[in-house]
Amino acid sequence: MVDEIKELNQDTEVVVLYCQHGLCDEAKASAWSEQACGLSVRAIMMPCSSKIEVHYVLRILESGADAVEIIACPEKSCKFLVGSRRAEKRVEYLRGLLERIGYTPERVGISRRLAQSPQELIDLAKARADAVRPFGINPMKKGEQQ
Amino acid sequence: MIFAEWKPLDELIDKLEPHKKVLLAGCATCVAECAAGGEKETETLAPLLRMALKKRGHSIEILTATLEKQCEWEFVEELAEKVAGVDAIMSIACGIGVQALAERFDPIPVYPGVNTSALTIREEAGLWAARCAACGDCVLGETFGYCPIARCAKSLLNGPCGGTRKNGKCEVNEDVDCVWTLIVERAERQGRLESLSVLRKPKDWSNSRHGGPKRVIREDLRQ
Amino acid sequence: MKMLVGSNLERVLAAGHFAVTAEVGPPRGPDPGDVKKKARILRGVADAYNVTDNQTAVVRMSSIAASKILLQEGLEPVMQMVCRDRNRIAIQSDLLGASALGLRNVLCLSGDHQSAGAGGKLKGHPGAKNVYDIDSIQLIAIVKGLRDQAIQEGGDSISPAAPFFIGAAWTPLGPPEKFRTIRLAKKINAGANFIQTQAVYDIKRFAEAVRRAEDMGLTDRAAILPGIIVPRSAGMLRYMNANVPGVEVPDEIIQRMKDASDPQEEGIKIALELIGAVKSLSGIKGVHLQAIEAEGLLPDLIKAAGLLPRPHVY
C-alpha cells in the first residue's frame, strides 16, 4: 500500500496521501519522483481517501512534515460514494484544530482529482508547499522529536 | 449516551504545561459514541497536545490508553501498569471516569479533558441531542414519549409557554423543536389530546441531584 | 357582590366596566425616583398597573419592590411573577411578603429564559442557573391555595390566608394553535381570575380564538384583557411579526405604518382602532396596554379611546 519516492534533499517537506484512484494506471505500480526546487515529496497511496483519519495526518505532521496534501476523487467519482466527501470534512476539521493550537491550517489541504500523472501530483504538492512556505518550517522539526 | 466535548484546547495545554509525562486516557463507551474520548479521539488529541506544547517550547511525553469503560474498576485497573513515572493523567472520559481514575491513582493528579454536559441520542451522523435529564421522576408516560424536562428549556409540565416560534421551534434555540408542540401533535395522532388538559402538579425533584448526592444500595447485589 | 380579594382591578371588572391595565417597567437601578416618575405620568389612566419581573431576564428592580413604590404613589399594581429565577419556597415567601406590603394582584408567568438577557447591547446573565422549579400553571394553583385554603404547596398551612387576584398570560396565536385554548382552560381551572394576552394586531384571528374560548365557557370564568402595543414604526412591527412568538401583524397594518407621513400619529390611530375592535368582541372585559419604555404615550391614547376617567368602584 505504501509507495515511497526517494526523498529529495530540499526544504519544504510535503507528504501526499492519494487515493489509489487518484493516480493514473500507468503510474500506479512504479515509483515516481521528480526533483523540484525547494520541495521534497513523499507519496503514500491509500485505498480510499476516506481511510485517512485525522490522527493519521496529525502523526505525519508531528513527525515533522511541513504539510500534507490529500488527493481525493471528485464527489461523483468516489468508488465508495461518500468517501471523498468524508475526507474533505476531516480536512476542514483538522485545519480548525491546527489553528486552535497555533499552527497554520495551510499545513493540510485537499484536492479533488482523478487519474493524475505523477507530475500532476507533484504539482499539487508544490502548490501546497507554496501555501505553507510563508509560515516557516514545521515547529516539530526543531530540536528533539518524540 | 453520556455526552461530552473537548474542553478548549488552550485550557488543556495550560493544564499540561507544567508536566513532563502524561497519560491520556480515553474510554470506548459513551464518549467514543459521541466522538469525544474514544480511541480515535485519544490518538488525535495526544499529537495535538504534543505539537501545541512543542510550539510553546515544552517537550512533553504523552502516553495513550483507551479503556473499555472508565466507570468499571476492572478496566480502570488496566492502567496500573502504565502509570509508572507519570506525573499527571488526563482523562477524556466523562466525569465519572475522571473521578474513578483520580480515586484509583491518587496522588497522581487527574485532569478532565472534556466537559460532560448531557444525556443524548445520536439523531444522525454528527448530530447529538439531549433526551434525558436524569430527574428521577419520569413523566414520559404522560408526555407521549417526549421528555419535557430535558427537551423544554423551561422544563414545563403543563404545555408550551408563549415562546413557541411560528415554525414550531423553541424561542430559546431556533434549532430545537418546541417539545410541547411535538407532544401535542403526537397526542393528537393518538387521539388523546384531552389527557394534556390534566393539571400536572409541581415535580418532586428530590430523587435527583436536587435531593442531595445520590448514593444507592441494593442489598440483593451486595457481597 | 362577593369579592375574592377586593382589589381595584377586581372591583372594576366585577362592576362590569371595561377595565384598563397598563405596564410599568422597573428601572435598571435602585432609584425609587424612576418608578415614581412613571407613576406620575400614568396616575389615573388605568385600573391597575403591571410591574414586570426581570423581563427578558434583564436584571431590574424587583417587581415586588417596584410594585410597593407604585402602591405608595396611589397606583394599584399587578405584580408580575416569573418561575425562572425562584423556586417554590422563595416564590411562596415572596407572595406572603407581597401580601404583607398590600399587593393584591399577581400575574403568573413562566418567564423568559435567561439567555434572553444577553441580546443587543446587553450582556445579561446567560450562564445563570435555571430554576423553573414550577411552571406558570402550577404557580397559579399555588397562589390559589394560599388564598382559598391558606395552604402552602407542600401542605403546611399559612395564617392568615394571602388574598390575591390571580392573573395569567395567553398567547392565543402561538403554535400549536389548537392547544392554546386548552392551555387557557388549564390556567383558568387552576385558578386564574384574569388573563392578559400577547399583543394583538390581527383582530380576525384573535376574534376566532376568543370565540373558541367562549365556546368552552372560559370567558365567563376569567376576564380576558387583550394586549395592545402602540406601533412606533413599520420596522418595529416587522420585527415583532418575525421575532416575537405569538405576535401576528397583518400586512395592511405594516403597510400603513410604512406609508404614514407621521408614524407616531398613525401608530396611535392603529392602536385606537385595535382597542375599539377588541372592545366590541363579546367575551373581552378590558384591555392591557404596553408601551415599552414609552409610557408617556399612554395617557393621551387612553383618553382618545374614550376610556377616561377611570371608574371609582367602592
Q: Identify the structural domains of chain B with CATH numbers, from first to last.
A: 2-117 (3.40.50.2300), 135-197 (no CATH)
The count of domains in chain A is 1
Mean pLDDT of A4-11: 44
What distance in Å separates the CA atoms of residue C175 and residue C116, rounded to the nearest whole number? 20
Give mean pLDDT, residues C5-15. 96
CB contact under 8 A, A97 and B48: yes
* Angstroms from B48 CA to nearest CA on chain A: 7
Please report which confidence band the pLDDT of residue A145 belongs to, taking 50, 70 and 90 as the band edges.
Answer: very low
Give the per-residue pLDDT at A121. 85
User: In the predicted model, is pLDDT for residue C142 greater than 70?
Assistant: yes
Q: Which residues of B touch C290 (CB under 8 A)?
A: none
Q: How confident is the model at residue C280 (pLDDT cuts 50, 70, 90)?
A: very high
**Cβ contact B87:B21 at 8 Å:** yes
* Edge-to-edge strands, sheet with A12-19: A39-46, A12-19, A67-72, A108-112
A21 contacts: CB under 8 Å, gap ≥ 6: A48, A73, A77, A79, A114, A115
* C116, C176, C186: residue with CB nearest B197: C186
Q: Are strands C77-82 and C105-109 parallel, antiparallel or unpaired?
A: parallel
Question: How high is the pLDDT of residue A33?
Answer: 52
CB contact under 8 A, A100 and B9: yes
Q: Inter-chain contact C132–B202, Cβ cutoff 8 Å?
A: no
What is the value of ipTM here, to two decimals? 0.93
% of residues, chain C, pLDDT over 70: 100
Phi, psi of C143 (to 5 degrees): -60, -40
Angle between helices C136-148 and C177-190 (to 10 degrees): 20
Amino acid at C166: I
Determine, for residues B51 and A144 on separate chains, whether the beta-carbon distance falls below 8 Å. Answer: no
Nearest neighbour of C245 by CB, restricted to B171, B188, B201: B171
Q: What is the mean pLDDT of residues C206-219?
A: 97
Strand order in the sheet with B2-6: B2-6, B114-124, B127-132
Smallest Cβ–Cβ distance between B181 and the set C133, C141, C176 belongs to: C176
Evaluate if residue A11 carries a pLDDT over 80.
no
Say whether residue B205 is in contact with chain C using an 8 A CB cutoff. Answer: yes
Of C132, C179, C190, the CB nearest to B155: C132
- The CATH class that applies to domain C8-304 reads alpha beta
CB distance A100–B10 less than 8 Å?
yes
Find where cell 518550517 sits: A137
Which B residues, 151 through 180, put their C-beta within 8 Å of a C-beta on chain C?
Answer: 153-166, 168, 171-172, 178, 180
Q: Could you tell me the end-to-end alpha-carbon distance of chain B, in angstroms, rounded to an integer?
A: 29
pLDDT, one tens digit per residue, over C74-91 is 999 999 999 999 999 999
3+ Cβ–Cβ pairs closer than 8 Å linking C and A = no
| Distance between A56 CA and the closest CA of chain B, angstroms | 8
The pLDDT of residue A5 is above 50: no
**Nearest-by-CA chain B residue for A57:** B44
Question: Beta strands of chain B (E only): which ranges?
Answer: 2-6, 21-27, 61-67, 88-91, 110-112, 114-124, 127-132
In the complex, which subunits touch C with 3 or more CB pairs below 8 angstroms?
B
Can you give the pLDDT at residue A79? 74
pLDDT at A30 over 50: no
- Residue A60: closest C-alpha in chain B: B47
Indicate yes or no: CB of B44 within 8 angstroms of CB of A143. Answer: no
A2 lies in some domain? no
Q: Kindly determine whether residue B202 and residue C116, on different chains, have CB atoms separated by under 8 Å.
A: no
- Residues 93-112 of chain A whose Cβ lies under 8 A from any Cβ of chain B: 97, 100-103
Among A97, A102, A146, the residue with its CB nearest the CB of B55 is: A102
Please determine, for residue A76, whether its predicted confidence score (pLDDT) is greater than 90. Answer: no
User: In this structure, how many other beta carbons lie within 10 angstroms of the beta carbon of residue C129?
Assistant: 7
Report the pLDDT value the prediction gives residue C1, as an integer from 0 to 100. Answer: 54
Phi, psi angle pair for B50, to nearest 5°: -65, -45
Domain assignment present for A5: no
What digits encode the pLDDT tens for the residues C68-127?
999 999 999 999 999 999 999 999 999 999 999 999 999 999 999 999 999 889 999 999
pLDDT reading at A143 higher than 70: no
Rounded percentage of chain B residues whose pLDDT exceeds 90: 100
pLDDT at position C52 is: 97
- CATH number of the domain that residue A51 is part of: 3.40.50
What are φ and ψ of residue C110, in 5° steps?
A: -70, -45
> Which residues in chain B land under pLDDT 70?
none
In chain B, residues with a C-beta closer than 8 Å to the C-beta of A137 are none
pLDDT digits (tens, 9 = 90+) for B61-119: 999 999 999 999 999 999 999 999 999 999 999 999 999 999 999 999 999 999 999 99
Domain membership of residue A110 (yes or no) is yes
B202 → chain C, closest CA residue: C134
Q: Is A116 within the bounds of a domain?
A: yes
- pLDDT on residue A8: 39
- pLDDT of A1 > 50? The answer is no
Query: How close C20 comes to chain B (CA, Å)?
Result: 22
Judge: C175–B166 Cβ closer than 8 Å, yes or no: yes
Neighbours of chain B (3+ CB pairs under 8 A): A, C
Average pLDDT over residues C282-287: 97
Which of A93, A101, A140 is the best mutation test for B, with the most CBs of B within 10 A?
A101
Question: Quick one: pLDDT band at residue A26, thresholds 50, 70, 90?
Answer: low
Euclidean distance between CA atoms A118 and A99, whole angstroms: 31
Average pLDDT over residues C253-263: 95
Which residue in B21, B54, B63, B92 has the most chain A C-beta atoms within 10 A of its own C-beta, making it the best mutation to test that interface?
Answer: B54
CB-CB neighbors (< 8 A) of B159 in chain C:
137, 179, 182-183, 186
Yes or no, beta carbons of B160 and C111 under 8 Å apart: no
Range of the structural domain that residue A75 is part of: 12-141
The residue of chain B nearest to residue C183, with distances taken between CA atoms, is: B159
Q: Which residue reads 466522538 in cell numbers?
A: B35
User: pLDDT tens across C173-193, in order?
Assistant: 999 988 999 999 999 999 999
Q: A112 pLDDT exceeds 70? A: yes
Report pLDDT for A104.
96
Q: What is the pLDDT of residue A9?
A: 41
pLDDT of residue A3: 33
Nearest-CB residue to B51 (from A53, A55, A101): A101
All three cell numbers of B176: 430545537
A117/C143: higher pLDDT: C143
A66 grid coordinates = 511541513
CA distance A22 to chain B (A): 26
CA distances from C47 to B218, B220, C20, C302 (A): 61, 66, 6, 12
Q: Which three cell numbers stand for residue C172?
A: 392565543
* Whether residue A34 has pLDDT greater than 60: no
Q: Is the pLDDT of residue A146 over 60?
A: no
